[in-house]
């Protein structure tokens, strides 16, 4: 809710309200290393104005954050990103993006509370920033899929090569993604939802 400067509380805008037909709301989290495109994905896919907590990068981050490969980046998420997308008239996803810097990872505990699964966004120019992220998800037992964000200047690899480089089990889906595209970002989220369904529903014998 917002305040309009008086004592009257202003509720959400009409376009932000959920339709009465919605029967289920699901929380999912977008994770990944510093500068892989998490804020961009949440912003592109959200049907409401996304909430972001980006702040200008300052001298305080020198020697703490590693900007290698993303030297042009001038702002960074310090708490979370938040958006919403309706999969159909009955199912809505609440999408939370985590901060990429390791010094903010203590926020994961709250962001993952109640989440059904995660999308790990990776950048092929800097695959190493994804290793610790994937390891933390595996330690927590959080189901996840991997989405490879296609930066224009990034090297291209076959998905099987990336699976091997990231040491992913065969059952974990890995898909290409353009975080700037609503359709592509939505496809990544749908891959996660299908994966969660497959985990919940045993295959017929």
Domain boundaries, position 73: 20-200
Residue 61 confidence (pLDDT): 47
What lies within 8 Å, CB to CB, of 16 at 6+ separation is 48, 49
Q: What is the arithmetic mean of pLDDT over 25-31?
A: 94
Q: What is the arithmetic mean of pLDDT over 56-85?
A: 58
What is the pTM (predicted TM-score) of this model? Answer: 0.77
Give me the DSSP letters along 102-154.
Answer: GGGGGGHHHHTTT--EEEEEEEGGGTHHHHHHHHHHHHHT--EEEEEE--TTS
pLDDT band, residue 72 (cuts 50/70/90): low
In a domain, 59, yes or no: yes
Total length of the chain: 205
Residue keyed to tokens 């992913």: 168
Residue 17 confidence (pLDDT): 59
Residue 73 confidence (pLDDT): 47
CATH number of the CATH domain containing 95: 3.40.50.300
Residue 115 confidence (pLDDT): 93
Residue 114 confidence (pLDDT): 92
pLDDT digit string, tens, across residues 95-116: 999 886 666 666 767 788 999 9
In a domain, 116, yes or no: yes
pLDDT digit string, tens, across residues 36-51: 999 999 999 999 988 8
In a domain, 55, yes or no: yes
In a domain, 62, yes or no: yes
Residue 85 has which token pair? Answer: 């997308």
In a domain, 50, yes or no: yes
What lies within 8 Å, CB to CB, of 167 at 6+ separation is 134
Residue 110 confidence (pLDDT): 76
DSSP state of 74: -
Counting the structural domains of the chain, the total is 1
In a domain, 8, yes or no: no
pLDDT band, residue 35 (cuts 50/70/90): confident
Whole-number percent of the chain with pLDDT over 90: 55
Among 166, 144, 164, 160, CA closest to 98: 144
At 168 the three-state DSSP class reads: coil
Residue 4 confidence (pLDDT): 43
Burial class (CB in 10 A: 0-12, 13-18, 19+), 159: middle
Q: What is the arithmetic mean of pLDDT over 164-177?
A: 96
In a domain, 1, yes or no: no
In a domain, 193, yes or no: yes
In Å, what is the CA distance from 16 to each residue of 12, 22, 48, 107?
A: 6, 13, 6, 26
Q: How far apart are the first and last CA of the chain?
A: 49
pLDDT digit string, tens, across residues 119-155: 999 999 999 999 999 999 999 999 999 999 999 889 9
Q: What is the arithmetic mean of pLDDT over 72-95?
A: 77
């Amino acid at each position: 809710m917002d305040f309009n400067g008086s004592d009257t509380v202003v509720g959400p805008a009409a376009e932000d309200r959920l339709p009465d037909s919605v029967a289920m709301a699901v929380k999912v989290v977008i994770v990944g290393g510093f500068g892989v495109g998490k804020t961009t994905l949440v912003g592109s896919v959200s049907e409401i104005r996304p909430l972001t907590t980006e702040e200008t990068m300052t001298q305080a981050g020198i020697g703490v954050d590693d900007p290698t490969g993303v030297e042009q980046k001038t702002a960074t998420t310090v708490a979370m990103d938040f958006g919403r997308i309706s999969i159909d008239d009955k199912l809505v996803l609440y999408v939370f993006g985590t901060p990429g810097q390791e010094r903010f990872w203590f926020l994961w505990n709250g962001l993952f509370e109640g989440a059904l699964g995660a999308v790990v966004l990776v950048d092929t120019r800097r695959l190493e920033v994804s290793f610790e992220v994937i390891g933390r998800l595996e330690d927590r037992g959080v189901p996840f899929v991997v989405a490879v964000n296609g930066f224009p200047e990034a090297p291209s690899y076959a998905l099987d090569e990336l699976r091997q480089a990231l040491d992913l089990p065969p059952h974990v889906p890995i898909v290409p993604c353009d975080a700037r595209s609503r359709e592509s970002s939505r496809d990544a989220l749908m891959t996660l939802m299908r994966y969660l369904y497959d985990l919940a529903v045993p295959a017929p014998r």
